[in-house]
Amino acid sequence: MLDSRYLLLCFSMIITSILYSQTKSEHVDHVLETVLDHVDHGHHHSDDYHLWERYLKRSHPNVAAVSSYFELASAEFGVPVELLKVIGQIENNWTQVGPSIDRGWGTMHLVENDYCNTLQGASDLLGVSKQTLKDDLFQNIRGAAGMLATFAGPNKASFTRIEDWFDAAKQFSGLISEELRYQQAQRYFETLKKGITSTTIWGEKVVIKPMPKIDISHHKPPTSSNQKETADYGPALANFTSCGFTSFRNTSIDTWVNHWIGVGTYAGAISWFNNCSQNGNSSAHFVIRASDGQITQVVRVAHTAWHAGASGYNNNHRSIGIEHEATTTNPGNWNDPDMLAASGTMACHFSNVYSIPKTYSLPGVRGHNDMPGTSTACPGTINWTTWWSYFNAACNGCPNNLSLTGTIANGTYTAGGTITATGVVNSGSNVSANAGNAVVLNPGFDGRPSFTAEIGGCKTSSNIPQKKNSQSSPSVEVQPAKKPE
Ligand SMILES: [Zn+2]
């Protein structure tokens, strides 16, 4: 059937070819290089890292071009552009890569597994191959927009607000259970309400402007929800799988193992660990969400999760395994303070319960790829110094961050800019401290000074962001408190 959709498509393709300016491969960003250094080995699915590497090494449309694709797909299918943009940000940070842990593809996470197949649905709808949807960022967004419009059905004619798309977004999330689909749709809309800014691996900013009027309070969680606290760890929600683990341990717990999801989301990982007909061979005890540090428990601590297995070694029976929502396309998530605080606090709790050594050692705290016999890049781009600072903050009685607040006077970085800190302020580079707990920037300095503050043996440090004349006072980045070594 030839209809106006296909005419629009032709129009879209012309515009797209004009706007398809690509990031320059000769300017491969440092972050991309770092990520690529971490995707040359196998992980949960042995071939996935090779595919991620292949996708990330291709030239990639820049953020302005991707933004134009969202506009075109929105116009073609009548789906709000903001909804498309936020799904693309949460699922893959506007980056074309795949597969995710739950076998989703591309910026929009078109899923192809045995409980969901939006990839096939989009392929049928658009008349393009599944491979094209995996490879082509624009077609991937079009496919997602088409599926959202399909899920909304005839009702969409009466939609007046973006929240009216909640149920369609739920269905589009492609997750295994009603509660996970609800949870992910809630995340799309709550993120949209607050707005979000992230950085791609090519160093460009993805900016989703806040829509503060969004109200999804009338969309209630499913009554079948089993999301209650677990007996093993109070703050964690429960979403236990019935497969992919051993229901006993043959040795005592002495090790904590950090993982990254690699590609995919918190909800996607939980979904996949619950997919017993297709997965059944991997799991983790806990999964932690970036942005708010929400934790879900998937396997009981008394049971052995299959997360760091290697033949000839007893890695799994001795350890607790944690998946973090840090990914190749949004490695900045490894610095997410809420996720790190949740991780460090939980690691401290279990290190106390099971006398896990509080050191980077075996037994002790390890990354997946530190475990004997493993061949993986997981946990990817983790910054261990940062992770340990959160662990120490949780475990050594230091506050997560010292009270370190203040502003810098408008203007360039010159003398007179001050920042106050509670406790003793130590001098840092290009910064001098005065007796009144204030930091004074040296005259004419226009770099990124840093300094440290200390209370009762707990230390914190801060960088003052670079600022242009016209900008208002920048916020201060505060590192978590840390006991002196
Ligand atoms: Zn891992």
Average pLDDT, whole number, for the chain? 80
463 C-alpha vs ligand 1 centroid, how far in Å?
31
pLDDT of residue 326: 96
- The residue that leads in pLDDT, 477 or 120, is 120
101 C-alpha vs ligand 1 centroid, how far in Å?
11
pLDDT of residue 8: 39
User: Which candidate, 473, 478, 461, 462, places its Cα nearest to that of 412?
Assistant: 473
The residue type found at 321 is: G
Contact 360, 241 (CB under 8 A): no
343 C-alpha vs ligand 1 centroid, how far in Å?
15
C-alpha span between 261 and 235 (Å, rounded): 21
Local confidence band at 335 (pLDDT 50, 70, 90 cut-offs) = very high
pLDDT of residue 198: 95
Q: Is the pLDDT of residue 69 over 90?
A: yes
Q: Is the pLDDT of residue 67 over 80?
A: yes
374 C-alpha vs ligand 1 centroid, how far in Å?
9
- Strand partners of residue 199: 205
pLDDT of residue 225: 61
319 C-alpha vs ligand 1 centroid, how far in Å?
13
Q: Is the pLDDT of residue 406 over 50?
A: no
Q: Is the pLDDT of residue 261 over 90?
A: yes
Domains for the chain: give ranges and CATH numbers.
4-208 (1.10.530), 237-395 (3.40.80.10), 404-478 (no CATH)
pLDDT of residue 316: 96
Mean pLDDT over residues 197-214, rounded? 95
Local confidence band at 150 (pLDDT 50, 70, 90 cut-offs) = very high
- The residue that leads in pLDDT, 48 or 260, is 260
309 C-alpha vs ligand 1 centroid, how far in Å?
10
Q: Is the pLDDT of residue 166 over 80?
A: yes
pLDDT of residue 55: 94
Q: Is the pLDDT of residue 214 over 50?
A: yes
Mean pLDDT over residues 128-142, rounded? 98
Alpha-carbon 393 to chain mean position:
22
C-alpha span between 321 and 367 (Å, rounded): 9
Mean pLDDT over residues 432-447, rounded? 42
328 C-alpha vs ligand 1 centroid, how far in Å?
13
Local confidence band at 280 (pLDDT 50, 70, 90 cut-offs) = confident
304 C-alpha vs ligand 1 centroid, how far in Å?
15
Q: Which two tokens stand for residue 407?
A: 């502003």
- The residue that leads in pLDDT, 207 or 24, is 207
Q: Is the pLDDT of residue 162 over 50?
A: yes
The tens digit of pLDDT for each residue in 1-58 reads 433 333 333 344 434 433 444 444 444 566 777 778 776 544 445 678 889 999 999 9
38 C-alpha vs ligand 1 centroid, how far in Å?
12
C-alpha span between 109 and 275 (Å, rounded): 17
| Beta-carbon contacts of residue 339 (< 8 Å; ≥ 6 apart) | 288, 289, 290, 291, 293, 324, 325, 326, 333
pLDDT of residue 33: 78
pLDDT of residue 95: 97
Percent of the chain whose predicted confidence (pLDDT) is above 90: 61
400 C-alpha vs ligand 1 centroid, how far in Å?
26
Q: Is the pLDDT of residue 119 over 90?
A: yes
44 C-alpha vs ligand 1 centroid, how far in Å?
7
Q: Is the pLDDT of residue 205 over 60?
A: yes
Rounded to 10°, the helix 266-273/178-194 angle is 170
256 C-alpha vs ligand 1 centroid, how far in Å?
12
The tens digit of pLDDT for each residue in 103-117 reads 999 999 999 999 999
Q: Is the pLDDT of residue 482 over 60?
A: no
6 C-alpha vs ligand 1 centroid, how far in Å?
43
Mean pLDDT over residues 300-327, rounded? 95
What does pTM read for this prediction? 0.78
| Beta-carbon contacts of residue 364 (< 8 Å; ≥ 6 apart) | 254, 255, 256, 356, 357, 358
pLDDT of residue 474: 41
260 C-alpha vs ligand 1 centroid, how far in Å?
6
